[in-house]
A and B are shown apart, each in its own frame.
Chain A
Amino acid sequence: MTMEADSRAKKPNPKPKRIPGPNSTNPKKKSEFEYCKVCNRNHNEGQRHKYFSSHTKSLSNFLSRFQNKITDIRFFLKKPSVLRPEHASRNRFWCVFCDVDVDELGSSFVCNNAINHLAGVDHFKKLKHFMWKYGSAMDRVDAFRISEAVVAKWEKNCKSLKSEATSVGEGSQELHLGHPNDIHNELNFENMNNFEKNTIHHLNSNISNGVMPLQYHTNECQISGSGFPGVANSGTNLYVVTSSLPADMCSTMSSWNSNYAMVNQNSPWNRTNCSGNVYLSGGMYQVYQDERVQSREINSQGLQNIAQVSSMVPKEAGGNVHSGAPLPWHGSIAQKEGGGNVHSGAPPPWLEATEGDRLELIPVLNSFVSSNKSGKSKLNPKRVGAAWAEKRKIEMEMEKRGEIVKRDCDPNWLPNFGRVWQSGSRKESRKEFEIEKQKQPNIQCQSEMSVTVQPYISKRMVSRIQTLSPEVLIFPG
């Protein structure tokens, strides 16, 4: 009995698992797990990992991304410009080879520290080590560092820049390249700093005043309503001047000023935010003087804002055609953290995507609904019968509009159906069926004929005739 049991237990396994024994020629050596920075995963493939195709792909991606960042830095290498201390916190640079964060605090020129880092000996060493470790070609090393000659040139340029700056304008830091800011802007920054220290209670009841005092401080040249040329990128600041307000303004107006000054000081500032600012101040807006064309539309928007908002203020503010902010205008604006948006209540970034579609101010719900609908239109193009569906939709629309008269379907149309007992494609089975269909009436005719000719039909004959057509047995449940 036990023998049998054993033999049953040791049934020959059709797919024996390959267990690496001590003498097996298993090429896979187990090595310690290590982390590949490029592929962002741990692996125990050891030295072989860097030759795998997935790794080489990730490596080329990785390096090209870093290369982009370095080209940005090289731009500033050729054109040194002065770094404003306020912007310094933004220009951080992570060197992937050294695993170190290079920031720009205390540097007087843009990317100063980054350039010095890339030129450094340490960086070069680590770069070479990285290339070796991750299997990149060594000739690419020079792409990721800055040679000393170039750095020396750059330093010379910087020095000359500095000396020029100090000689030309005293007290105003004019830049030759990159940021042609004006003295007014400079003043603005000062104002801004002061305002920031004030507490801002702009959200309070003043908004719900029915009467909008006219704060329109005009320079007529500004109201030309020229188009807003899009985002102010790379180096152009929106130039804000707070209008001189009439003396009887309530104290909150100063806080409004501060909002705008603060908001618009940050460059680049895109249209939605500006217009959001303008709108959500409850119609109290300020005129933006700008030597460039950028903010002119804001002015014209602002004008229209007042006209509309004042009529809308008593009830819930629904739509404002010209500002892009889709947020409803409540007495208390929801605060958001973030550079400059906190107090102005400009539309949140996730709604900015829908802003381009409609210029109307509609409640948040509407925008949510419309964005849902646009998602639905992207049905999977690989779904079954997608082509048919598209065609049919178009046909149905045209029928609705009355362009095509509803044509009767071909009475012989059949959906594509793979029959039960068949092999081959559905088209073939359909053809088979059609052939059978054609045969059927012939057979049926014949059987009827035979019935009439021979008045007596034996049971055998009947059953044989019936078997000629495909069996249709109907069973209850």
Chain B
Amino acid sequence: MSYLLETLTKKMEIDTIIRDTIDKVLVLRFGRSSDSLSLQLDDILAKSARELSKFGTVALVDIDSEDVQVYVNYFDITLIPSTLFFFNAHHIKMDSGTADHTKWVGAFHRKQDFIDVVEAIFRGAMKGKLIVNCPLPPERIPKYQLLYKDV
């Protein structure tokens, strides 16, 4: 599925795509193409990429490449797949009731869920908000536990 979406393996590529996506939401999925959950997520991303094309772009990042490890550390990516949202080179947080507001962890249950999330991000960003609320009901949000440095 990832042949439908750009896969980025270098920091430079990630940088350029973050900087060059203007006035559109940039969806960056950090994951592995061998992981089943990542593939599920990729499937949904690929199917909805076209519908979002007017206000969003989707790209995949392979966390196994070394160049990208800086970002893996910077964004504190510990669980995969993790999805980050950017707008005009600014990172947008989303409060979905989970511990980590900076990213979306896990896959989406439906294509429509993903589209709703991107829309919420877009609307908030256009209004100037750096954090938005998640439009999905809690049962459709994948739950996980974050570990903090051995805790």
Contacts and interface: CB of A to CB of B under 8 A. Distances in A.
Interface of A: 379-380, 382-386, 388-389, 392-393, 396, 408-409, 411, 413-421, 426, 433, 437, 467, 470-477
Contact of B90 (A382, A415, A473): A415
Interface string B24-36: 0000000000011
A419 B125 CA distance: 19
B78 A416 contact: no
A384 B37 CA distance: 31
Interface string B114-147: 0000000000111111100000000000001011
B91 A421 contact: no
A477 B90 contact: no
Contacts of A382: 127-128
Contacts of A467: 150
28 contacts: A380-B126, A380-B128, A383-B88, A384-B126, A384-B128, A386-B88, A388-B90, A392-B88, A393-B22, A409-B12, A409-B15, A409-B16, A411-B11, A414-B70, A415-B18, A415-B86, A415-B91, A416-B90, A418-B91, A419-B102, A426-B91, A471-B147, A471-B150, A474-B78, A476-B37, A476-B80, A477-B35, A477-B37
Contact of A409 (B19, B36, B146): B19
A389 B11 CA distance: 21
Given A379-B23, A421-B148, A477 B127 contact: no
B110 to A, nearest CB: 17
Contacts, number: 110
A474 B102 contact: no
Contact of A384 (B16, B18, B92, B102): B92
B19 A477 contact: no
A314 B146 CA distance: 75
Interface size class of B (residues with CB under 8 A): 35 or more
B72 interface: yes
- Highest count of chain A CB atoms <10 Å: which of B19, B72, B74, B102: B74
B79 interface: yes
B20 A477 contact: no
A385 B93 contact: no
Given A384-B92, A411-B12, A415-B86, A477 B36 contact: yes
Contacts of A420: 76, 100, 102, 146
Contacts of A416: 89-91
B88 A385 contact: yes
Contacts of B149: 470-471
B106 interface: yes
A388 B80 CA distance: 30
Contacts of A386: 88
B46 to A, nearest CB: 19
A388 B79 contact: no
Contacts of B23: 379, 383, 389
A380 B126 CA distance: 7
B147 A473 contact: yes
B72 A472 contact: yes
A107 B20 CA distance: 69
A327 to B, nearest CB: 30
A401 B124 CA distance: 33
Given A384-B129, A477-B36, 8 more contacts: A382-B127, A396-B22, A409-B16, A409-B19, A415-B18, A420-B102, A420-B146, A470-B73
- Highest count of chain B CB atoms <10 Å: which of A388, A416, A477: A477
B71 to A, nearest CB: 8
A418 B102 contact: yes
Nearest to A396: B20
A443 to B, nearest CB: 13
Given A472-B72, A473-B147, A476-B37, A385 B12 contact: no
A379 B126 CA distance: 8
B87 interface: yes
Nearest to A430: B74
The 10 closest A-B pairs by CB, nearest first: A385-B88, A477-B37, A382-B128, A384-B125, A420-B76, A385-B90, A417-B91, A383-B126, A389-B88, A389-B22
